Structures are given as C-alpha cells and as structure tokens.
A = this chain, B = another copy of it.
C-alpha cells in the first residue's frame, strides 16, 4: 500500500493537500568539477576567481570557487530529482532569503535537504496554493554552501 502510494506520488506529484509543515525531503548527490566551474563562469559569471586558480588565490576566495549561480543551478537539478515533486513541477515565485555561507570548490559533492515551513491557500487562485520551504545545499563534509527560503506554487487536488 505504501509502495502504491509512493508510485502514485512519483507519477503525478504531490498536491497542496499532500504537504505539511515539518516534512523533509533529501536528494541524490552531484559532483562539480573544475572544467565545468570554469566553463559555466565563462558564459555567466566571467570573473577571474571563477576562471583561474592563480587569480583566485589572490582574491577573497583564496582558491578557485564556483559561481554562486552554478551552485544555485545544481541545487535546482538536485531538487527536481528529489522526492519533493509537487504536482505541476517546481514552480518558484521567489525567495524570502538566500545566501551562500561558504564557497563551492572543484570536486565538491553536493546534496540538498528541504523542509516545509508553511503551507497555505492562494487568495487569488482557488486552484493553487503556496508552500514555503527551506532548502540547504551541503557539501561532502556536511557544510552548508547555500541556504534559501523559497516559495513554490502548488496545485490543489482537483475536486
């Protein structure tokens, strides 16, 4: 029975009614390598401390560091593949807080932990609700590299 429910959630996702404050969701792991750190930065964040080891050494980062936007994008990849799975997909409207407490380094292996902080109906759209979740991205040493509190649109279960 639990197996059947889990299979259903995987296929169609969770409706607003399936979320509750305190639920926690984990993720798989993804490794970030030095070549992708540099190519991502070349396209989106072309600053020397993301592109060149020597320049990074002389910067506030002290060693080559991934762009925070690379960390954010990989966090999204991990979230999409996590068990969070809202019906209708992960549709974020924005964040109440978002920070990068420490840099991501070449070779780091990241995973995410999400916790539901709030579940509420939408005032303007009776078919939708919102959940607020804290998502923490951690490295292989369990250190937080990104912490966000974000709001997601989630459909209500059809009548």
List chain A positions with a Cβ less than 8 A from chain B: 40, 43-49, 59-61, 67-69, 72-74, 76-77, 80, 88-100, 128, 153
Q: Which residues of B contact A91 (CB under 8 A)?
A: 60-61
User: What residue of chain B has the Cβ atom nearest to residue A46's Cβ?
Assistant: B80
Query: Are A69 and B72 in touch, CB under 8 angstroms?
Result: yes
Judged by DSSP, the binding face of A is mixed
Contact sample, A vs B, 18 pairs, CB 8 Å cutoff: A40-B73, A44-B74, A45-B73, A45-B76, A45-B80, A47-B90, A48-B89, A49-B89, A59-B89, A61-B91, A67-B76, A68-B92, A69-B76, A72-B72, A93-B99, A93-B100, A95-B95, A95-B97
How many copies of this chain?
2
Query: Are A89 and B47 in touch, CB under 8 angstroms?
Result: yes
Query: Are A69 and B60 in touch, CB under 8 angstroms?
Result: no
User: What residue of chain B has the Cβ atom nearest to residue A74's Cβ?
Assistant: B44
Q: Which residues of B contact A69 (CB under 8 A)?
A: 69, 72-73, 76
Q: Which residues of B contact A99 (CB under 8 A)?
A: 93-95
Closest 6 CB pairs of A and B: A94-B99, A44-B73, A95-B98, A69-B73, A47-B89, A45-B76
